[in-house]
Amino acid sequence: MIPSRAPDPIEILCALVGGGDALPAYARRGDAGADLVARADVVLRARGGRALVPTGVSVALPEGHAGLVVPRSGLAAKHGVTCLNTPGLVDSGYRGEICVLLVNTDPDVDYEVHSGDRIAQLLVVPCAHAVFAEVLELPPSERGAGGFGHTGR
């Protein structure tokens, strides 16, 4: 058995906005992503129909943290619905409503989002604030400049 200790939870202040009625919530203990739900009905047309879907919640993330909005795997696998800009970034200073840009990749079937549907997940992650320093040449690494597909199939 692998021992584990979950980090202490951090409090995220949330406000329900625009008639929203659900805070982000974890479906199961130990889940990384908290479910975000739609606060409006939307139809995503087949072949790339997209919509910015409001969640009815705004958050105050602590400085040094960010929120990443990521797709729900079940929506993608069963219906071809995913988030268009993944991950969506919620900065710690943002106080507006979290909205999710959904897209329907199914070639034939429209997808109906109903108010209250779980549409994405929110990951709260620590993030470093970098100081970018210009140099004439970068130090070497094992990988070097190899990019897209350079390690094979």
- Mean pLDDT of all residues in 18-42: 96
Backbone angles phi, psi at 75, to 5 degrees: -65, -40
* pLDDT attached to residue 47: 98
> Mean pLDDT score of the chain, rounded to an integer?
94
User: What is the distance between the alpha carbons of residues 20 and 47, in angstroms, rounded to a whole number?
Assistant: 29
Give the pLDDT band (50/70/90) at residue 28: very high
pLDDT surpasses 80 at 150:
no
CATH for 24-126, among 3.30.1490.190, 2.30.40.10, 2.70.40.10, 1.10.3720.10? 2.70.40.10
Per residue in 76-108, pLDDT (tens digit) is: 999 999 999 999 999 999 999 999 999 999 999
Give the pLDDT band (50/70/90) at residue 116: very high
Q: Closest Cα partner for 120 from 101, 97, 92?
A: 101
User: What is the distance between the alpha carbons of residues 149 and 23, in angstroms, rounded to a whole number?
Assistant: 40
* pLDDT attached to residue 148: 76
Please return the burial class of 30, using the count of CB atoms within 10 Å of its CB with bins 0-12, 13-18 and 19+. Answer: exposed
pLDDT surpasses 90 at 48:
yes
* pLDDT attached to residue 145: 85
How large a percentage of the chain has pLDDT more than 90? 86
User: What is the distance between the alpha carbons of residues 136 and 27, in angstroms, rounded to a whole number?
Assistant: 49
- Give the ranges where 6-86 is alpha helix by DSSP (H): 73-79
The residues with which 13 forms a beta bridge, in sequence order, are 60
Please return the burial class of 122, using the count of CB atoms within 10 Å of its CB with bins 0-12, 13-18 and 19+. Answer: buried
* pLDDT attached to residue 144: 84
